[in-house]
Chains A and B, each alone.
Chain A
């Protein structure tokens, strides 16, 4: 039974001191891991699209190896990944705990998801467009950047929105193993101190963040989709 005890909660006391900085930490972790994940994800997606059996430059070996690596990383739950790659994290950012350290495993688990989303979106593009582009002498790079990405954009945007919300959850999970942010606050100040009001306040903040991400994603999606959509 949820028991919100506003008499003893320290929610209001902690709001400026602890919760607001934690919101900042969560946003930063999410933002940087998504940006880095996107950069790596795009590169991986391009290689997957190029080398796939029906791709522009089929190369079964590269495709299979990369596909295997991507699937393997996706099999790791984020929380396990954080622990498992802590030596790597330490080598990259100098520490294995805290906000910066969390970005490494979060990026690592985000890029395969993003790469697969982009790959799937690009595979949806009508293959005749590739033929047409080839017929006027477009190079593989031109086909990717002038034909495939622009055509797949609405689908990529909606995939990225879903991924970002998924990884908002992952950042709070990372809070449990020393990353800080809203997850950690909810756990240590809310759950462990039996301060339900504190905990649910943080859930509420996360809920608002989900709404913002979803709304923003849908806004960009609509902007993208309007291009060429007759029903506008």
Chain B
């Protein structure tokens, strides 16, 4: 659906003005793809390249089978019909009603009046705002405004929805309801969603796949589960986790628990079978979109290390000895 290959972008010619460096991504149809990074690392710029709001210097960007670089102004307008976009500050016209905001894109494309009405009503009921149709944006809560923006972004029946920090100005409850809505739209309409955010919870909650972007580069990309289980350096830096201290005379094991293992009493079995006195240094099971997974850090006596590693590896669970360099290793 969206293929980015070795994309470079800079403002001006100087090397330090390079905002995107060698970006490659492959986003499949129906994915909810999260791009996370701190502010000012170029993630919004990348998003705007996808619908041609910003150009780029080098590389290839294919969206819906069209090469974005080659589009003329007029074809670009038509191309953008297939890509909806929502923003952090909602970008609604304050002096137009909810209804008028939603029909605006259709006015620009000269839809007939009856078609405009029926699409607008249908979408406003999809986002749960049928009763606010004649309200002005100022009368709505942040979450409701974002719902209007979502309805507006869907009017031209796009295949892709770009979300630029779409929940970053909402409180947690509203964030949750907007994410639920986006997920149901993704299922119902088969919409591909690209979500740019700096909030890890959003990624965990809604995305199937993710990429971490730092300093204009993609540091890590993959399924949300694999990225979290591998704990690459970029992820650790982003969530600000402190490294685990290794106790004297002990070895530390990082045991990755995937969704399919979660119901298995593996620690109980290990303790019963091997009689190894282990302790848990750190453990966290993430609950995401559809899955549960997480890493457990166990401290075991140094001479039992190999036994324990073999035990878990035999059960097809990913298990490595943890040292400081483990955290350095990144996947891709």
Are A228 and B105 in touch, CB under 8 angstroms? Answer: no
A128 on interface, CB distance cutoff 8 Å:
yes
- With a CB–CB cut-off of 8 A, which chain A residues contact B89? 126, 128
B91, A128: Cβ atoms closer than 8 Å: yes
B95 touches A132 (CB 8 A): no
- Report which of A126, A134, A151 forms a contact with B80, defined as CB distance below 8 A: A134
Q: How far, in whole Å, are A128 and B85 apart by their CA atoms in the complex?
A: 11
For A13-39 the 0/1 string (1 means CB < 8 A from B) is: 000000000000000000000000000
Contacts of B48 in A (CB 8 A): 131
Using CB atoms, name the residue of chain A closest to B48: A131
| Chain B: interface residue total (CB-CB under 8 A) | 33
Interface residues of A in 90-140 (CB under 8 A from B): 126, 128-129, 131-139
Interface contact B53-A150, CB-CB below 8 Å: no
Grouping DSSP codes into helix (H, G, I), strand (E, B) and loop, the B interface class, with mixed when no group exceeds half, is: mixed
Contact of B91 among A132, A138, A150 (CB under 8 A): A132
Q: Is A227 an interface residue (CB 8 A)?
A: yes
Q: Indicate which residue in A134, A151, A154 contacts B93 across the interface (CB closer than 8 Å).
A: A151
Write out the residue numbers on chain B whose beta carbons fall within 8 Å of the beta carbon of A131: 48, 53, 85, 87, 91
Cβ 8 A contact of B108, one of A138, A154, A229, A230: A138
* CB atoms of B85 and A132 under 8 A apart: yes
CB distance from B94 to the nearest CB of A (A): 5
Size class of the contact patch on chain A = 20 to 34
Proximity string of chain A (198-232) to chain B, C-beta cutoff 8 Å, 1 when within and 0 when not: 00000000000000000000000000100111100
Cβ–Cβ contact A230 & B139, under 8 A: yes
| CB-based contact B108/A146 at 8 Å | yes
Which residue of A128, A137, A150 contacts B95 across the interface (Cβ within 8 Å)? A150
Residues of B within 8 A of A (CB): 48, 51, 53, 77-81, 83-85, 87, 89, 91, 93-96, 104-105, 107-109, 136-139, 149, 152-153, 155-156, 162
Seed contacts A136-B156, A139-B77, A228-B138; 9 additional CB < 8 Å A-B pairs = A134-B80, A136-B84, A137-B81, A138-B108, A139-B108, A224-B95, A227-B136, A228-B136, A228-B137
